[in-house]
Amino acid sequence: MKLIVGLGNPGSKYARNRHNIGFMAVEQIAADHGFGPWKSKHQGSISEGRFGSTRAILLRPETFMNKSGDSVAAAMRFHKIDSEDVVVFHDELDLAPGKVKFKMGGGHAGHNGLRSIHSHLGPDYGRVRLGIGHPGHKDRVAGYVLNDFAKAEADWLDDVLRGVSDGAAYLAEGDNAKFMNAVSMRTAPARPSTGKKGPAKAPSEPVSAAPIKEASDNRSAVQKLMDRFK
């Protein structure tokens, strides 16, 4: 069984914030893969379903970001899930908008949601880092992540959410390479071929001018001499 967690803050006020891209990811997965309705449980909302033979639980902690670990730990205890079978979707300031990276283990890099999860689980869980870009200065970070995505960001955001949903089954199976490939098919699709070039034409050979034949002169020598003095 897999526990797939999306991080965010509860309530309509925060629904389209950059900080809530984790919520958006698990909601897309639930909708696309026919998971059950969201139910209140484990200090959050869960949706249950399967990817083939692999059972999975999607979790949106509703404890607010800096207490996310309380909800994750409660779900893990109830379902007897090990930390290695937990994957967390979260916003990532250090990745450009539209970039996605999978990471197993490591630090929390100051992310309040990951910091809380670390305090309960330690570092040995998977995380999908969803790039939102950086506002340029640390003093602007709080306002940036708690603001909604701009309309101009709608296209890349849709590609990211559909990409992680396309690859969710691979993520549940533990095939992280195939997961990332599925994401890339949406976020960085191969450019369409321009078609094969035909064989190069041989350079045309210059056409030689046909020699001009001089008209035969049947005049007599006397006639030629007379014609010269006409």
Strand, coil or helix: 136: coil
The model carries a pTM of 0.82
Tally Cβ neighbours within 10 Å of residue 152: 7
Please report, in tens digits, the pLDDT of each residue of the chain (230 residues total).
999 999 999 999 999 999 999 999 999 999 999 999 999 999 999 999 999 999 999 999 999 999 999 999 999 999 999 999 999 999 999 999 999 999 999 999 999 999 999 999 999 999 999 999 999 999 999 999 999 999 999 999 999 999 999 999 999 999 999 999 999 999 998 767 655 555 555 444 444 444 544 455 666 655 655 565 55
Two tokens, residue 55: 């059972």
How far is residue 217's CA from residue 226's CA, in Å, rounded to a whole number?
15
Which residues are tagged catalytic?
19
Q: What is the 3-state secondary structure (H, E, C) of 153-174?
A: HHHHHHHHHHHHHHCHHHHHHC
pLDDT, residue 225, reads: 53
How far is residue 104's CA from residue 9's CA, in Å, rounded to a whole number?
24
Instruction: Spell out the domain ranges in the chain.
Output: 2-187
2-187 under CATH 3.40.50.1470, yes or no:
yes
